[in-house]
Amino acid sequence: MRLVNFETPGGYAAGLKIGDEVVDLTALGIVESVDALIAAGPDAIEQVQQVADGIHPRLKLADLCLLPPVMAPEKAIAVGVNYHCHATEGGMRVKEFPVLFNRFPSSWVGHDAAIIKPFLSDQFDFEVELAVIIGKAGRHIAAADALDHVFGYSVFNDGSVRDYQRKTHQWMVGKNFDRSGSFGPELVTADELPSGAKGLGIRTRLNGVTMQDGNTSEMIFDVASLIEACSQAFELVPGDVIITGTPAGVGLFRDPPLFMQPGDLCEVEIDGIGVLSNPVELEAR
């Protein structure tokens, strides 16, 4: 299944995406958001599967304003230095345990919404990443069982303000400027993709020019290993998001460095999931 959250006159709704159309699951009385669907569990998911097989009114996807596929996760955990090629380009040592940091929901927007370049910085960078959405709670989850806890996957642009990221040993500030990243355009359930979302092309285009071009199989810590590592410290619950790191090609390590500017269009894409597109705007003073 392919699921979306979208704006409505009264707020927001959940939708089942079928081709270039969307069935409004909220109007059918099933769930009010994708977040709620994930939390509701198997019975609600079965209802949505029945919708896919039925005849229901459909909205045109092109007419909708999409919101992030998970709007209010309890936890959003991002991973640093998780592709060998990215570690190499930055001269960074690969660690025995993944580099984890948090990303606030206030720091991201949905598909087609503007991402905001802070007026305080000229080092606004792009990072295409696979987002993992947890569907089943667990603590101390073994890697062998970890994929049973995955609800689905999406695309994330881990927009990074590099000079602020380097101001301290903690990356949190540079990774959490308001509306600096994006998440979407949709959530694809795990059954529609290869196990662990391995073998998927992952890329960034800036103004139509390819900047990053990698494959999810190049991760240092794969999806199962990341779930195992995260769950050693805290319980993962339905709706939690793990943002799994970026391949080589980021603007910081180009020669000369290349950063996003107001008026740019940044597209991040993962095969089998979709293209997440965002214009860049300058923060208002």
Specify the 3-state DSSP secondary structure of 104.
Answer: coil
- CATH code 3.90.850.10 region(s) in the chain: 76-282
- 42, amino acid identity: P
Which pLDDT band holds residue 169 (cuts at 50, 70, 90)?
confident
* Structure confidence by residue, pLDDT tens digits, 173-196: 999 999 999 999 999 999 999 999
Does the structure show a pLDDT above 90 at 91?
A: no
Encode pLDDT of 222-248 as tens digits.
Answer: 999 999 999 999 999 999 999 999 999
Identify whether 279 is preceded by a cis peptide bond (ω within 30 of 0): no
Summary mean pLDDT of the chain: 97
- Which pLDDT score is estimated for 179? 99
pLDDT in tens, 51-84: 988 889 999 999 999 999 999 999 999 999 999 9
Q: Can the peptide bond before residue 262 be classed as cis, meaning omega within 30 degrees of 0?
A: no
135's CB contacts (< 8 A; 6+ apart) are 38, 149, 150, 151, 152, 190, 238
Q: In this prediction, what percent of the chain has a pLDDT beyond 90?
A: 92
Going by pLDDT thresholds of 50, 70 and 90, the confidence category of residue 156 is very high
Note the pLDDT of residue 106. 98
Query: What is the Cα–Cα distance from 62 to 111, expressed in whole angstroms?
Result: 12
Model confidence at 87, pLDDT cuts 50, 70, 90, reads confident
CB contact at 8 A, 129 and 123: no
Q: What is the pLDDT of residue 53?
A: 84
* 96-135: pLDDT as tens digits: 999 999 999 999 999 999 999 999 999 999 999 999 999 9
Domain 76-282 maps to which CATH number in 3.30.540.10, 3.30.565.10, 3.10.20.740, 3.90.850.10? Answer: 3.90.850.10
